[in-house]
């Protein structure tokens, strides 16, 4: 399994959000770090095919990002995760499962499994408008996992989760990352530090650091803040 991003570029008016990024990703958890406006969300949208690049390509096992087959293999939790307030949690997952092409019987089984996993089993029949922020976020994580994606893209997935849920989530991601590609963006360095196999640090639409991070290199947060401070200084 291989995700190839090749000279990916996206520009909004005069601002280059993603600037000729090229990278090959294989199984594992990739932690995407960067300040606001660094281009993380844009890059994730490009990888998920909801945003068209100005140039460059994204392929997963030779499948182009624009194809239905590619979309069948991905799971995506956007930063601003949207939902239907009058749907129940179960309805929402069954609707998303149908969108992902999962057969009805399998969808129901998988929805129950995921609701259990994200601790929403009891609230499955309640309307989403009655969910707390954390519950909505957990539902968002569940929908991203419905089709057992080979490529899981999570934009700020831990926002709204309490510390206990955050630990549970980290373990879950680490497990998924053993056999799949997980790209995870966050502001919270400690989230990435614990589960990411590879750190991808973005600044001005480019990767300023990519590779493994071990303690011998020092504190990741300090390194990250240093880059950020330099950015502010500039």
Site of interaction with another protein (CB under 8 A): 12, 42, 45, 48-52, 68, 71-72, 74, 76-78, 80-87, 91, 94-104, 107, 143-144, 147
Q: How far is the CB of 190 from another protein (least distance, A)?
A: 26
Q: Which residues on neighbouring strands pair with residue 219, listed in sequence order?
A: none
What minimum distance in Å lies between the beta carbon of 76 and another protein?
A: 5
**Which token pair is 7?**
């000279």
**What is the nearest approach in angstroms of another protein to the Cβ of residue 82?**
3
Q: In the complex, what is the shortest distance from the CB of residue 75 to another protein, in angstroms, rounded to a whole number?
A: 9
Q: Quick check: helix, strand or coil at residue 48?
A: helix
Among residues 144, 141, 139, 156, the alpha carbon closest in space to that of 79 is found at 156
SS3 82: coil
Of residues 8 and 220, the one with the C-beta less far from another protein: 8
The encoded tokens of residue 164 equal: 């206990």
Smallest gap, in angstroms, from Cβ of residue 123 to another protein? 18
Whole-number minimum distance, CB 163 to another protein, in Å? 26
Residue 80: CB minimum distance to another protein, A: 5
Which 3 state secondary structure label does DSSP give 52? coil
Cβ atoms 25, 3 nearer than 8 A: yes
Report the residue number, 99 or 225, with the smaller CB distance to another protein: 99
For the chain, the 3-state helix, strand and coil shares in percent, each to the nearest 5, are: 40, 30, 30
Classified as helix, coil or strand, 64 is strand
- Phi and psi (nearest 5°) for 214? -120, 165
Q: Which lies closer to another protein via its Cβ, residue 18 or residue 189?
A: 18
- Where does the chain have alpha helices with state H? 40-48, 68-72, 89-99, 104-117, 133-145, 163-176, 189-195, 220-233
3-class DSSP state of 206: strand
Question: Considering beta carbons, is residue 32 or 96 the nearer one to another protein?
Answer: 96
């Amino acid at each position: 399994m291989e995700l190839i991003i090749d000279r990916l570029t996206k520009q909004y008016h005069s601002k280059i959000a993603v600037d000729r990024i090229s990278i090959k990703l294989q199984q594992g958890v990739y932690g995407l770090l960067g300040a606001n406006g660094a281009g993380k969300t844009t890059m994730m949208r490009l990888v998920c095919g909801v945003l068209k690049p100005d140039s460059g390509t994204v392929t997963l096992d030779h499948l182009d990002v624009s194809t239905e087959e590619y979309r069948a293999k991905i799971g995506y939790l956007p930063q601003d995760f949207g939902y239907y307030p009058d749907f129940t949690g179960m309805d929402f997952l069954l609707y998303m499962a149908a969108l992902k092409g999962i057969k009805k019987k399998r969808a129901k089984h998988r929805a129950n499994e995921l609701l259990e996993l994200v601790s929403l089993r009891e609230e499955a029949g309640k309307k989403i408008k009655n969910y707390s922020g954390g519950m909505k976020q957990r539902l968002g994580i569940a929908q991203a996992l419905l089709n057992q994606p080979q490529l899981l893209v999570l934009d700020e997935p831990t926002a709204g989760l309490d510390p206990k849920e955050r630990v549970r989530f980290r373990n879950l991601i680490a497990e998924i990352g053993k056999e799949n590609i997980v790209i995870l963006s966050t502001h919270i360095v400690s989230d990435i530090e614990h589960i990411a196999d590879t750190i991808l640090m973005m600044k001005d639409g480019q990767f300023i650091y990519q590779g493994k991070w071990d303690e011998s290199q020092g504190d990741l947060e300090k390194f990250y803040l240093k880059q950020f401070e330099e950015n502010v200084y500039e």
